[in-house]
Amino acid sequence: MPVPHVEPGEVEPGERVLRDDLGLIVRLGAVRRVVSLVPSLTEAVAVTAPGLLVGATDWCTHPAGLEVVRIGGTKNPDTGRIIALAPDLVLANEEENRLPDLESLRAAGVPVWVTEIRTLEQALRSLHRMLTAACGLGRPEWLDRAEEAWRVVAPSASAVRPRAVVPVWRRPWMVLGRDTFAGDLLGRLGIEQLHADHADRYPAIPIDQLLRDAPDVVVLPDEPYRFTADDGPEAFPGVRAVLVSGRHLTWYGPSLAEAAAVLAGQLRGRQQS
């Protein structure tokens, strides 16, 4: 996607001209009103600067008790309601949000900051830039704790890495493929993801093929599909099933500070049946 060129003389007094994770130019003044279209980014801003958020999606469940205007889902936000909130900045993600919605906001003059996060390193770097450069906040303490928590994660080189299939949806079955944030976290925790080399990032693979791949373990998060002890493990007879927190596996925000310990504990836990 071509990046628009900005001449120095086009910058208004007090205006900041930045580039988001996609390299797109974002013009910002003082940021006092933020709308977030991504649950993990919502939590990141709300924990760092309570009161800065004025709008968030219906799926933004953390922190608990967040009182902001709800603007629909990540895939179907009410752009009219967002525009009416007069935000200084809208936070989005290239994977979770649809380009037509973001373009509609830009056309209305609303600054949009888009994140791209496929690895832990990207997440930590992106969160720092979003909070400090875009939102104008100080670096939060939870981000330092997250960096330290994952810095000490180092699976033993001699340990056998369980070969895992990681479903994210059912009917049809979809699993983690290549180049995903969740896959990167699992790799750091000593899990060998069976479909990490698949051409698709979230391939649809029939259950009979998943079983023929002979995984040592099936990792079942509780989001986006809510796998439970009664919904998921029974499809993989004879395979160790581990139920994990989707928020800790797929969210990039304050949850990262505890995710390594939580996920490691769940992966070491007893077989679910």
Report pLDDT digits (tens) over 200-225: 999 999 999 999 999 999 999 999 99
DSSP sequence for 82-135: HHHT--SEEEEETTTS-HHHHHHHHHTT--EEEE--SSHHHHHHHHHIIIIIIS
List, in order, residues 6 or more apart from 192 with CB less than 8 Å away: 161, 162, 163, 164
Provide the CATH number for the domain formed by 8-139 in this structure. 3.40.50.1980
Coil/strand/helix, residue 141:
helix
For residue 269, pLDDT over 90 is answered with: no
Report pLDDT digits (tens) over 97-149: 999 999 999 999 999 999 999 999 999 999 999 999 999 999 999 999 999 99
**How high is the mean pLDDT of the chain?**
91
pTM summary value: 0.89
In the chain, where are the structural domains located? 8-139, 163-268
Indicate if 163-268 has the same CATH topology as 8-139. yes
CA neighbor of 216 nearest in space, from 180, 192, 184, 185: 192
Report pLDDT digits (tens) over 48-89: 999 999 999 999 999 999 999 999 999 999 999 999 999 999
Provide the CATH number for the domain formed by 163-268 in this structure. 3.40.50.1980
